Amino acid sequence: MPTSAFSLARRLRAGETVHSGWCGLASPIIAELIGREGFPAVTLDGQHGLWDVAAITTAIAQVRLGGAAPIVRVPVGEFATVSRALDFGAEGTIAPMINTPADARAYVRRSGSEAGARIGRQPWPACRTRRSICARPTSSVSHLR
């Protein structure tokens, strides 16, 4: 059974330890199976894995069908991929090479998610993944939903 929409942030805020299965192979069905094996989250590794945007889009929905929270690790410097992954329904993103608070601020600013994170709304809420999970699109947004 799929997890409730955007449950990862709630679980982490509650102090829960959440383990993530890591998937570098660009196969949405493998990502789904990792979730079905009991991992509460599955990370799609776009940094060192074989994922492209099309496969990530499909895999996010498949991971949810497997009952896990999808997380996307974006390639270094591909800030636009962050907001796209969140639009597609990822519950979190991992950005490599963020080593300082200034790096983190630049990551948020350049990803195009700063305005949405600041006011708690996503500028474009419609996407296939959310519609397949929620009766109504959610308005909550941050880099970790």
**What CATH number corresponds to the domain at position 110?**
3.20.20.60
| Domains: count for the chain | 1
Flag whether 45 is in a domain.
Answer: yes
Q: Which residues are catalytic?
A: 48
> What's the CA angle centered on 21, arms 35 and 89, to 5 degrees?
60
Q: Which residues pair with 45 in a beta bridge?
A: 73
Flag whether 140 is in a domain.
Answer: no
Flag whether 139 is in a domain.
Answer: no
- Coil, strand or helix at 25: coil
| 8 Å CB contact between 74 and 83 | no
Flag whether 107 is in a domain.
Answer: yes
pLDDT digits (tens), the chain, 145 positions = 444 555 898 999 999 999 999 999 999 999 999 999 999 999 999 999 999 999 999 999 999 999 999 999 999 988 889 989 999 999 999 999 999 999 888 888 887 755 445 444 444 444 444 444 443 333 333 445 4
pLDDT reported for residue 5: 55
Flag whether 81 is in a domain.
Answer: yes
Least Cα distance to 70 among 91, 93, 40 occurs for 91
Residues of the domain holding 98: 8-133
Flag whether 3 is in a domain.
Answer: no
Each residue of 72-112: pLDDT tens digit?
A: 999 998 888 998 999 999 999 999 999 999 988 888 888 77
Least Cα distance to 82 among 114, 50, 55 occurs for 114
pLDDT reported for residue 140: 35
pLDDT reported for residue 33: 97
pTM of the predicted protein model: 0.76
pLDDT reported for residue 126: 42
